[in-house]
Structure 1
Amino acid sequence: MQKLLLFLLIICLFQACQNRATTTESASDTSSFADDYKQLKAHTPVILLEDGERKVLLAAAFQGRVMTSTASGMNGNSYGWINHDLIKKGEYQPHMNAFGGEERFWLGPEGGQYGLYFKKGDPFDLPHWQTPGAIDTMNYPAVEKDKRQARFVKSFSLENYAGTRFDLKIDRRIRLLKEKEAADLLQVPLDKVKWVAYESDNQLSNEGREDWDKSKGVVSIWLLGMLKASPSQVVVLPFKGGGADLVNDAYFGKIDAARLLKTDSVLFFKGDAKSRGKIGIPPGIVKPVAGSYDAANGTLTIIRFNYQGDTAYVNSMWENQRYPYRGDVVNTYNDGPNDKGEQMGAFYELETSSPALVLKKKQSYRHVQQTFHVEGTAEELNAISRQVLGVKLSQVPKL
C-alpha cells in the first residue's frame, strides 16, 4: 500500500509540474487566419472585412476589437494573438479579460490619483486593480458595416480614483486601406509584397454637463495590440536623436540588457513572450511610428498614428504621482511569467495613446492609427523599413 501511495504521489507531482509548465512557458502561436476565424466565429459574432487575400476580423462583443488580420488569404499568417481558451470558457475573469486581439480600445490613465482602474482609497496593487467593464466586457454595437469597414458606437460613464465622473461617447471606425492609400502613407510601393493595412479612427466625446479639468483628472484614448510573439520577433521604436535617457524601461522592473538595445535614436526590444517587461516613449522624443520585425517569418509590422506635438499625456504608473501628465505616447510590452509564474499568453504589444483630453462639454477628439503587416524578402522589407522607420534591417539585432 505504501508503495502504491508513493507511486500515486509521484504521478500527481509530475502532472502538477506539467500543468504549471503550461502557465510559465509560452510557445509561439502558428495558427492560420482560417484557424482563428473558425474558432472565434464559433463563440462570438464576428465581422470580416476583406479585399481579395487581405482580411481583417472584428468582434463587436469585445469593444469593436480588431482580433486579427492576414495578408495572404484564409490559409495565410494570422497576426493577432487570440485567447481562444478564455473565449471558449465563457466566464469573466477577475481584474481583466485578456481576450487578445491585435488592436483593442482602452482608456487611460491606468493608475495614480486620476486612474480609472482603481477605486478611490484602494492601494495600487494587483488585488485591487480592475479594468472597467466598459472597456473590458461591454459590447459596442456595429451601427454600420460592409466589406471594407465597420463602425461601432457606445456611450457609458466612468469614475476615476479622485471621484470625477466622465460621461463618454465612443465612435470607432475600422476600415481596410486600398493599395494606393497604403502606399502613399508609407511612401513606398507595395506591388511586389504581400500586405494588409487598416485604419482605426477613434472619436471620444465629452457627453457630460461640465468641461473636463486637469485638476480633477482627465482621460486619454489608448490603443493596444496583442500580436503573436516568436523567438525572432524584435520591436523597433525610433525616437528623436539624443533622447535615449528619457526612455522609460522600468514599468515592471529593470529589463535584462540581453533583451533590450538602445542606440542614440532607436530602441530594439525582444518580443518573444518569454520575459515580462514594458517600455515607454515620452512626447519629448517620440516619432509617430513604431514597428516590429520577425526575420524568421519574413514579416514587418508598422504602426502610424496622428501625433501632433502635444506634451501632456496621462501617467499610468501605479502610484500617487508627482507628475500625472508626464506619461508616454508609445509603449511596447512583452508578456512573460509574473511573480507567481503565470502569464497571459504568447504575445507582445504595440501601444499608442492620445494626449490627455481636456475636452469642453460636447467637444470631441479623434485618435487615428494605421496598422500595416508586410510579408516579403529581406531586401523588400528593408526598403520599407529604411523609408518608414529609418532603420536598416541589418541593424536589427538578434536579441
Structure 2
Amino acid sequence: MKYYFFTLIMAFSLITGCDEKHQIKEGTFEYDIDFLKQHQETIVLTNNDGKSRVAVVPAYQGRIMTSSSSGEKGNSYGWLNYEAIASDKLEEKINVYGGEDRFWMGPEGGQYSIFFKNGDDFTFDKWQTPKQIDIEGFDIVSQSESSASFQKEMKLENYHGFPFHIQVNRAVNVFDQKTVEGNLGIDLHQLQLDYVGIESVNEIKNIGNQPWSKDTGLLSIWILGMLKPSDQTKMMVTYKGAPEYKSYFGDIPSDNIAVKNDMILLKADGKHRTKIGLAPENTNPLIGSYDTEKKILTVCQFTFGEDKEYVNSLWEHQETPYQGDVVNVYNDGPLEDGGQLGPFYELESSSPAKELGINESVKHSHITYHFEGDEADLNSLCQQLFKVQLSDISI
C-alpha cells in the first residue's frame, strides 16, 4: 500500500513538473514561435547573443512575423492573426496573417492599380489582393544565423492592362549592437535597454520584354508592419515643412490625433479605423510608436532620397497617379459592416515609382527597432531620436 501511494505521488509530481517546465506564456516570443511552427516552416534568426530574435515565414512572402529583444521569454512584438494562420480556408480578398514587416506592392487604386481588374469599379466588392503577394511563398536562397534571403518570380497585370514580369529579391537581417548604434547615432552602452533591430532589403526587377513607363503604369515596393494595439500606445510620425497629411477614411476624431513638437500623434488602440499618408515634401524617414504600459519604444527607418514621384493608391481614376505617399500609418477599427480585420496598427513605407528598362530594378529598405527597459533610458533615447520626452507622446 505504501508503495502504491508513493507511486501515485511520484507520477503526480512528474506530470505537474512537466507541465510547469513546458508551460509557455502567451504574449512571449516562445509562444508565437511554438504556434507558428505548428502551421508553417518558420526560420528563427538571432543576434546579440540570442537576445535579439526574429521569426520569418517563407510561405508568407518571406514575412517577418514577430521579434523579441530579450530572447524566447521576452515580449513578442508582431501582431499575429492566430485564427487565419491556423485555418485551412483561404479568404477571397486578402488573407490577413499579420507580421511586422510584410512585402506588398502598389498602387492599390487608380488606373494603374494591381488590386483591380480593368473596367471594374473602385469598390471593396471588386478589390482583390494579388495572390502573388498574398498566398504564394517565396523561395529561400540563403540562410545564416542572423540573415536570410528569398526570391520570387511573378507576373502581374495592372488595371490599364500592362503585363509586368518581375523578379522579387528580399533579404532579412538582424542587427548587432554596432549596427543599431551606427544607424541611429546612439550609444547603447550608456542605456540599460534590451533591443532588436531588423532590416528588410527589397528589390523588384523588370525581367520582362518591355520597359516600364509612366504611360502604362509603374510599381512601388510597399512594406507594412503590423503591431499589437493598446489603449496606451501612440504612433509618432515626424515630418518636415507644414504638417500636411492625407486622410484616407474621412475625418479623424480630435481625441485620436494631435499635431505638436513637429510630430503627428495617432492613437494605436485598434478601435477606430484611421489612415494617414505623407507626401515626399513632408516626409522625414523616421516614424515609431510608444506603449506606455509595456514601456516599448518602436522606431522605423526607411530608404528615402530625392525622388518626388510615388504611386497614388486612392481608389479612383486619378489626375495625379504619381503624387502618392512615402509614409502611411494605420489604426485598425471596425468596418462599416461591423467586422474587423484585426485589431492591429501599422507603420508603413514605400519606394518611389521608377521607370525601369529591361533588367533594371528598384530597391527599398525598411528597418524596425524595438527598445524595452528602464523608463529613464527610454526617455533619453526618445529625446535623442524624436526630440521629445515620453511624457510629450500624448493626445
Q: Give the TM-score normalised by the residue count of structure 2.
A: 0.91
Q: Within 1, Cα distance between the matches of 2:375 and 2:307?
A: 35
1:393 aligns with 2:384: no
What code does the residue aligned with 1:235 have?
M
| Offset from partner CA, 1:336-377 (integer Å, 9 cap, x none) | 100011101121000000001211110011101211000022
Q: Within 1, Cα distance between the matches of 2:287 and 2:45?
A: 24
SS state at 1:184 partner? helix
Q: 2:376 aligns to what?
A: 379
SS state at 2:178 partner? helix
1:148 aligns with 2:146: yes
Instruction: Report if aligned partners of 1:118, 1:160 keep a CA contact under 8 Å in 2.
Output: yes
Instruction: Report if aligned partners of 1:291, 1:389 keep a CA contact under 8 Å in 2.
Output: no
Q: 2:37 aligns to what?
A: 41
Q: 1:270 aligns to what?
A: 267
Q: Within 1, Cα distance between the matches of 2:200 and 2:387?
A: 24
**Pairing 1:102-117 to 2, within 5 Å after superposition:** 102-117=100-115
Q: Within 1, Cα distance between the matches of 2:35 and 2:326?
A: 34
Q: 2:11 aligns to what?
A: none
| Offset from partner CA, 1:273-311 (integer Å, 9 cap, x none) | 011110111101100111101111111000101101211
**Pairing 1:58-69 to 2, within 5 Å after superposition:** 58-69=56-67
What code does the residue aligned with 1:64 have?
G
SS state at 1:391 partner? coil
Q: State the Cα distance separating 1:264 from its structure 2 match.
A: 6.5
What code does the residue aligned with 1:134 have?
Q
Q: 1:97 aligns to what?
A: 95
Q: 2:76 aligns to what?
A: 78
Q: State the Cα distance separating 1:254 from its structure 2 match.
A: 1.1
Q: 1:225 aligns to what?
A: 225
Give the alignment's Cα RMSD to 1 decimal.
1.2
Larger radius of gyration: 2
1:361 aligns with 2:358: yes
Q: Within 2, Cα distance between the matches of 1:113 and 1:264?
A: 38
SS state at 1:313 partner? coil
Q: Within 2, Cα distance between the matches of 1:196 and 1:144?
A: 22
Q: 330-339 or 375-384: which moved more?
A: 375-384
1:348 aligns with 2:348: no
| Equivalent residue for 2:285, pick from 268, 288, 298 | 288
Q: 127-136 or 30-39: which moved more?
A: 30-39
Query: Identity of counterpart residues, as a percentage?
Result: 41
Q: 1:327 aligns to what?
A: 324
1:237 aligns with 2:233: no
Q: 2:14 aligns to what?
A: none
Q: Structure 2: which 5+ runs fail to align?
A: 1-24
Q: 1:10 aligns to what?
A: none
Structure 1 residues 30 and 259 mapped into 2: Cα distance closer, same or farther (>3 Å)?
Answer: farther
What code does the residue aligned with 2:187 have?
P
Equivalenced residues, count: 367
Q: Within 2, Cα distance between the matches of 1:155 and 1:390?
A: 43
SS state at 1:215 partner? coil
Q: Give the TM-score normalised by the residue count of structure 1.
A: 0.90
Q: Within 2, Cα distance between the matches of 1:293 and 1:357?
A: 34
1:300 aligns with 2:293: no
| Equivalent residue for 2:169, pick from 164, 168, 171 | 171
Instruction: Report if aligned partners of 1:229, 1:272 keep a CA contact under 8 Å in 2.
Output: yes
Moved over 4 A (4+): none
Instruction: Report if aligned partners of 2:65, 2:80 keep a CA contact under 8 Å in 1.
Output: yes
Q: Within 1, Cα distance between the matches of 2:168 and 2:382?
A: 33
Q: Within 2, Cα distance between the matches of 1:131 and 1:310?
A: 27
